[in-house]
Every structure is written in C-alpha cells, then in structure tokens.
Amino acid sequence: MAVSGKPDRGAPATLITVAPTGAEVDKSAVPALPVTLEELVTTAKECQLAGAAVIHVHIRGADAKPTLDIGRLTDTVRALRESTDLIVQLSTGGAVTDSFERRLAVLDASPDACSLTCGTVNFGDDVFMNPWGFMAELYAKTQSLGVVPEFELFDFGHIAALHRLLAEFGPPAGGHVHCDLVMGVPGGMPGNAATLVQAVAALPPGATWSATGIGRTALPVLFAALAAGGHLRVGMEDTVTFARGRPVASNAELVERAAGAAALAQRPAMTPAAARELLGVPDHR
C-alpha cells in the first residue's frame, strides 16, 4: 500500500527514471555530463542496462548550452527509440530562460512522454515560471497529441494546482496520473522524509509517484521514497556528487545505486515494458 492508502499500480517493482543532463550544469565544470547526441545515447544504453525504464531528456546545442531546437529534439527522440527501449520523456521545463512558446513546441518532437510542472517556483536566484494559463495550454496539448505527462511537483501549491488541472480538464493521455516530487530545490519543498510523506498524502487518489532529491538531498529522498512505496528518479540533472568529495562518474552509477537500493527493499527495478503498462505509454516504435 502507498502512503496515500491506495494500492500501488505495478508494485512491487520500482520505476527508475534517469535525468542525465538537465539545463543547469555546465559541461566545462562537469566533463562527465552527457551533452552530445552520441553521449546521450551511450548514457541511455548504460542506464537501461543498469535498471532505468524512463529517460527525462534535456538537450544541448553544439556549444553544450541548453536548447529547445525542434530539429535536435526530434533527432534525439528518434535516436533514443532506435537504440533503447526506454520511455522517452522530453522536458517541457527547459531552462529558466526559455519562452512558453518554445516550451510548448517541445511536444511537436513527438515524444512518448513529457514533464509538466504544476506551478511557478523560486529556483535558486532565478524563477521557474509555470503560470496557470501556460500549464493549462500545455496540458491540453498533451491530451490532443497523446503525449503522456508526468506532473512535476516542486512544492505543495503545485499539488493543489494538479488537483485543479485534473478537475477542469479531465484525465491525462494514457489515463493514469503519475507525479514526480522534485525535492530540495532552493525555493521549493525541502528534501526530507517528513515532507515526502506529507506530499504523498496530498496526491490525487490512485496516482503513482516518484521522487528525486536535488544535490545533497538525493539519498534521504531516495530512501524515503522506497520506504513509502514510491518510485525513483536519479541522474546528473539532479546531483553531480556521488558521495562527499567524490563527483559522479556517470549517470549509470546513479541508476545502479538506485537499483541496488530498490532490490534491497525487495522492489527491484521495473522493465521499460512494465513501465509502459503502468504509465499507459504506447510503444511508438
């Protein structure tokens, strides 16, 4: 049983999402960060072998800076589908500097799934903007294109906005609500077990959820999520430190660690096929 009192669909296996790149980390500061298409595909293959079922994708341009170029996004979706079985989830969050228009256009690259953040949040010294009108338009576009959204929740107000979205516009593509608690962002909810339990209790009935802890909250959130019956997201988008004083060498080692913890919890990593069934994501290949 989940903390919400609802049975977990697909339990006891653990859905592991890898977020390998993000939009915030600089390649010059973290050489192991995958930024080219070749690096991303190699990482994706390694992470699937290590136990990942979903890949949350931000891409970079030739200058290694974040981009939402639609041609590059389309090529990325194609290459990941050709080389792996992973569910390809494109970020619609992009970087804090990306326009709403470009973030909406991400869906034109025809991914399996996408992230959909349920509200604005302070993001370090920046602001990650997700006003109601944008969220609603993005949600309607996921429904009309059949792209399965994952609801990104950085704070408690985002959970209230998710309830409103579902009440006003109905169920998502795929018919199942899956959320990701993004914890420990400076400006969002803290990454600890008490907060996680409270957040999970407030989710819509029947929803499944994963959690990720940013930076040094990665491990407390991972263990709390497993204990509370949730799924996991890990990757260099969220943490670039494996242990005190030891940088992450690869995304695969973060997935391996998550899969090992899940196995210890008697909830081994879920296959991509089982994840498609859980989330209602069709195989477009």
**Residue among 4, 14, 21, 115 that touches ligand KMH (CB under 6 A):** 115
Residue 90: C-alpha distances to residues 77, 154, 271 (Å)? 8, 18, 19
Residue nearest to ligand KMH (CB): 93
Taking the least distance from each CB to ligand KMH, the nearer of 3 and 105 is: 105
Quick note: the x/- pattern for Zn ion over 73-112, rule CB under 5 A, is ------------------x---------------------
What is the token pair recorded at 256? Answer: 């391996």
Answer for which of 20, 34, 51, 93 binds ligand KMH (CB under 6 A) is: 93
Residue 241 has φ and ψ, to the nearest 5°, of: -120, 120
Number of residues that bind Zn ion (CB under 5 A): 1
Using CB under 6 A as the binding rule, whether residue 91 contacts ligand KMH is answered as yes
Residue in this structure with the two tokens 């992973």, named with its chain if needed: 86
Asked if residue 180 binds ligand KMH (CB under 6 A), the reply is no
Please select the residue that binds ligand KMH; options are 48, 117, 208, 212, rule is CB under 6 A. 117
Residues that bind ligand KMH (CB under 6 A): 22-24, 91-93, 95-96, 115, 117, 123, 128, 152
